Structure 1
Amino acid sequence: MEDINPSYYPATRAAGLAGDKINYDRGGPNRFMEVQGVTKARKEIIAGQGNKYNVEFAIKDSVNEQNPIQCTAEVLYPTNKQSAPNVTYKLQSEPQNNTTAKDQEFYNNMKHRSVPLAAEEIPDKDGNIAPDMKPIWYLALAASSFVKCQNATEDTYYRSVVIDSVKQVVRNDNALEFHFKTRIHQMTTQEMEPWWIEALWDPSGGLKVNNYKRLPKFNPDENSSRHS
């Protein structure tokens, strides 16, 4: 295993992917975790498996402005690029801010809408997000984090997300269901890749991406799709 510069692209890419995993596991309508910076990184070439990165970094809940939490993570990019990376992490402590009340309020508002939610362009063309759309925005970020984790390779770096549209689907069970059309910025190609994501969420069960697919951009035959 060799040490690598923590500011170099391979280290920040691995930490970013670990941050995506954390957001899918712990993110929601009132929490979004941001990687603050990599302090230590190592790389190991594992014959027959792939390249593994060990990274140490801080992560912060930017919605609730709590103190950064130290994190260690391992990211294994498999030799078979059709397989998703294996990401494991350990937080020094759990996020301190309790979002239970705000999550329940959001859930109640969505469950009792007279008309299911339908919205477009989040953020808008000026980069603004209406206050009542911010929980939807954070849910979309967390759901997109799952797509990033499933489709990342050692040659990609997925970062920012734009919601082209979101539609709420009425359900008879406890879950809220949202269908997102998003574009995810792939930094190595500078493309905004279009994805459709079906996400379920409720306060007790958390977030689950039920289905997703990459949408056609130019030639549909050039685009792949995967399902969870």
Structure 2
Amino acid sequence: MEPINPSHYPATRAAAVVEHYINYKMGTPHRLYERQQVTSASKESIAGVGNKYHLTFSIKDTINKQPEIICTAEVLYCSDKTSPPDVKFTLQPNPENYTATKDQEFYTKMKNNKKPLVAENIPDKFGNVASDMEPIWNLAIAAAGFVKWKYSTEETLFAMTVIDKVEQQMRDDALELLYNLQIHEMVTQEMISWQIEVTWNPSKGVKIKKQKRLPKRF
């Protein structure tokens, strides 16, 4: 086990992977988490397997006024790079479901739409997200967490930047949205177009039905 500087790229990029994974697993239209400063980090090289990072940092709900939560995590990057990073995390304390009422209200409203939602260019050219689109934007970040986690390596750092288009697919048992997103790979500065078909309901959380990388824009 080798201690590493918690403020350097290897530690902060691994912590970003944990953030993406947490938002994919726990994010809702009214709750998202952002990593704070990494306070301790070490690296374990496992022969024939890959590099495992051991991390401690806090996470903060970016939408609601809640106390910071301490996160201890392990991120294993496989040497062959054919598998997503193996992420394990523990939160202390484990957050309560304090957005349940808002989430249920949003779910009911969307399910009662007389016409399926269709929207484009979120945020707008001034960087603004309309208030009625905020839950749609937040859900996109949670869903994009799956892609950002799955395709992360030790050399990447992903951020979702824009919803090009979102279309609601009507179904009975969940809210289903088809997103076309722009994901920024900040190390190479590449903008990647991605399509994600996501289902969500308040009891089962985010599920990725389909996802694919779209052709480059020219």
What TM bracket, shorter-length normalisation?
over 0.9
Correspondence for 1:102: 102
Distance 2:69 2:135 in 1: 22
Which runs of structure 2 are paired with 1:51-70 in the superposition (5 Å)? 51-70=51-70
Correspondence for 2:160: 160
Other structure's SS at 2:145 match: helix
The CA deviation at 1:94 is: 1.9
Correspondence for 1:91: 91
Correspondence for 2:185: 186
- 1:126-169: CA deviations, max 9, x gaps? 00000110000010000000011111111111123311110000
Correspondence for 1:224: none
Unaligned runs of 5+ in 1: 220-228
Distance 1:66 1:218 in 2: 40
The CA deviation at 1:95 is: 2.1
Native 8 Å contact 1:64 1:97 kept in 2 = no
Other structure's SS at 1:105 match: helix
Native 8 Å contact 1:162 1:182 kept in 2 = yes
Correspondence for 2:2: 2
Native 8 Å contact 2:194 2:213 kept in 1 = yes
Correspondence for 2:32: 32
Q: CA RMSD in A?
A: 1.1
Other structure's SS at 1:72 match: strand
Other structure's SS at 2:83 match: coil
Distance 1:52 1:127 in 2: 37
TM-score, normalization: structure 1? 0.93
Correspondence for 1:211: 210
- 1:81-137: CA deviations, max 9, x gaps? 121110110001122461111001100110011110000111111000001100000
Number of aligned residue pairs: 218
The CA deviation at 1:8 is: 0.2
Distance 1:101 1:181 in 2: 28
Other structure's SS at 1:160 match: strand
Native 8 Å contact 1:77 1:85 kept in 2 = yes
Correspondence for 2:176: 177
Native 8 Å contact 2:144 2:160 kept in 1 = no
Higher relative contact order at CA 8 Å, sep ≥6: structure 1 or structure 2?
2
The CA deviation at 1:174 is: 1.5
Native 8 Å contact 2:160 2:181 kept in 1 = no
Distance 1:174 1:96 in 2: 24
Distance 1:38 1:95 in 2: 20
**Over 4 Å off, 4+ runs:** none
TM-score, normalization: structure 2? 0.97
Distance 1:21 1:218 in 2: 27
Native 8 Å contact 2:169 2:175 kept in 1 = yes
Unaligned runs of 5+ in 2: none
Letter in 2 for 1:202: N
Are positions 1:198 and 2:192 aligned together? Answer: no
Distance 2:68 2:191 in 1: 29
Correspondence for 1:72: 72
Correspondence for 2:128: 128
